A and B are shown apart, each in its own frame.
Chain A
Amino acid sequence: MTNVQTTTSPITAAFARARAERRVALIPYVMAGYPDLATGEALAVAFGQAGADLIEIGVPFSDPLADGATVQHASQIALEHGMTLAGALELAGRVSAQAATPLVLMTYYNPIFSYGIEHFCTAAKAAGVAGLIVPDLPAEEADPLLRAARECGIALVFLIAPTSTDARIETVARVAAETGGFIYCVALSGVTGARDRLPEDLAAFIARVRAHTSLPLAVGFGVARPEHVAAIGRIADGAVVASALLNAVDAAPPDQRVATGVAFLRDLQSGAHLDATSSP
């Protein structure tokens, strides 16, 4: 069953547009407050202007247990710069005023819980946030946030992992269908971080998820290169790129960081066109 919010969600529209243009949707990641407040914000705006389909804005947390070294480091620096959930919402508000790209906020649960769930969803909506990814909130614990987000017209994006049983995939897909947005398929068993290659069983995993949902599927964790994006385009609807992007930005001289980030995104976009990559 399709509800009103699902059909009108800017996230749904972004995936539909990418599909119509025969592209896999690209979802670059920015850590709020990293490498510093101004550069993080400039990167998000530049990604929007460069044609990112969605932008994921990471909120730093003191204990990012689903993250590998790159995001842990960025998180720590962002916290040292004083970034908070409230600060990330302010940043999202400024970005959405400058770019039409839908924003998805990625945060661990405790900052939301501490902020107050309903209060947070209202503020997120006002800041132009279209979706939420909460990596330590499985479907079983999601009811309070799901309810509040739905009332505000915000999609709660659930993760499904290669270890998820078919029974769990079915449950998560059912819950996710009520909130719209997309399903975040965790490509590998592990933490976030750039990898050289995608796992060999990725296609089989995505097929297992696809069997239970018609929502768009985005693949993240370990996605680092245009050929990864191209491979994901053959089996799913979107690719999330975080650590590899952070690494590229990190390696650039301070005055080149935004340009480097955009160049990295454009390189990934070269793998995003389905027609260019679908020949055997």
Chain B
Amino acid sequence: MTHPAETTTPPTSQPTYQHGAFPDARGRFGDFGGRFVPESLMAAIEELERAYADASADPAFASILAEQERTYTGRPTPLYHAARLSARVGASVYLKREDLAHTGAHKINNALGQGLLAARMGKRRIIAETGAGQHGVATATVCAKLGLECVVYMGAEDIRRQSLNVFRMKLLGAEVRPVTAGSRTLKDAINEAMRDWVTNVATTYYLIGSAVGPHPYPMMVRDFQSVIGRETRAQCLDQLGRLPDLVVACVGGGSNAIGMFHPFAGDPSVRLVGVEAGGSGVESGKHAATLVAGRPGVLHGALSYLLQDANGQVTETHSISAGLDYPGVGPEHSYLRATGRATYVAADDTAALHAFQTLCEDEGIIPALESAHAVAHVLGERGALRPDDVVVINLSGRGDKDINTVADALGVTL
């Protein structure tokens, strides 16, 4: 068994990355993952696992999903050569434009996949959690389209900073339930969604928005988000005739990153870097850099890296970006970190804000603050990159939702 003290192992005992080997039958990615949930949910999780296996093996499901991705979501999203950003950084930088997907972020990929699965399972009531509101909007969108009831749990603090998305969800017919417990952010919204699920498990489908939670969620979310990486890989080969040298994505729970990384993880020449929220600086303790500064623990159904105190209590996080403000991380990222296949770094609020402005001014693209963390890392790599290096940044969402937050941070009154 993984003991916390043993998991922060010296590099000599680093396990080797095995592409495609995980999750195993127990839902583990190496030591990470699993199903740490109340017994009340186990039967529902087993039902979900069977239903997903059944859908995955059904070509009709894949074909409906692909058709909806094309005609509803607007896939494939472009791989865009950011010329002025490239000149600034000193490398060839491409943006995977998930911000151009319907609803304005990658979250729709997973919401559509799981929504179709829920409908196939005959579940008519959908619950979801949301941080920045993008997953809530995506879920409300899919529920409207499929005629399903939708309840979204959202931390009261996040409701305050993402009021635009709250109104969007309501317009789309969802009920938004504020969560006032704990830190009033994403982790508390997940707790409350799990409580709803335990209570209404017979009728309700829990549509988790990140690559977290008990097995099979991390696998399922990865699979639905992997359309990002598959497209990007094919676009690189098609547009550039080669694979990228470096692929960068922001990591909160890690769904856009795992969707981008997974299809490249079997290509040893492609470096994968996940960028976590450094908040006020990792050394300040006010951050959400789980893989950079956490240690293994169990939260929301999975064993993964976790920000916690010495007594195993989950600590409060801080980030300018609501979507990264989460103390846990998807278990597959913990595995990628443990094997060294991906590396994880932090970008702080200031760097993210600077990157946000840079992308606005250089490229005419207003990025989500979450995605701006990935841009910030690449800006910081200037000098370390060669001119012929090909860098892909997953631009996971657009930044309209963040305008109020950015105005506040810049001292502007709207």
> Which residues of A are interface residues toward B (Cβ below 8 A)?
61-66, 68, 72, 76, 79, 84-86, 108-117, 135-138, 140-141, 143-144, 158-165, 168, 172, 186, 189-191
Contact = CB atoms under 8 A, between A and B. Distances in A.
B40 interface: yes
B359 interface: no
B interface secondary structure, majority: mixed
14 contacts: A61-B313, A63-B188, A65-B191, A72-B181, A85-B312, A110-B298, A110-B308, A111-B313, A113-B303, A115-B312, A136-B298, A164-B40, A186-B38, A191-B199
B182 interface: yes
Interface stretch (B1-9, B66-74, B76-84, B260-268): B1-9
Nearest to B310: A114
A186 B296 CA distance: 29
Contacts, number: 135
A79 B313 contact: yes
B311 A63 contact: no
Given A110-B313, A136-B301, 8 more contacts: A62-B314, A110-B314, A113-B4, A114-B312, A115-B311, A135-B38, A136-B38, A168-B46
A187 B195 CA distance: 15
B40 A112 contact: no
Contacts of B201: 163, 189
A247 to B, nearest CB: 18
Nearest to A165: B43
Interface stretch (B29-37, B118-126, B250-258): B29-37
Interface string B280-324: 000000000000000011111101001010111111000000000
A115 B199 CA distance: 31
B299 A63 contact: yes
Contact of B44 (A61, A109, A143, A163): A163
B195 A65 contact: yes
Contacts of B310: 114
B194 interface: yes
Contacts of A144: 1
A110 B198 contact: no
Contact of B311 (A114, A165, A189): A114
B298 A113 contact: yes
B199 A141 contact: no
Among all A-B residue pairs, the 8 with the closest Cβ atoms: A114-B312, A144-B1, A111-B312, A161-B40, A84-B311, A190-B199, A62-B314, A62-B313
Contacts of A186: 38-40
A159 B182 contact: no
A160 B39 contact: yes
B202 interface: yes
Given A63-B182, A63-B187, A109-B298, A141 B36 contact: yes
A242 to B, nearest CB: 15
A68 B192 CA distance: 10
A54 to B, nearest CB: 20
B38 A161 contact: yes
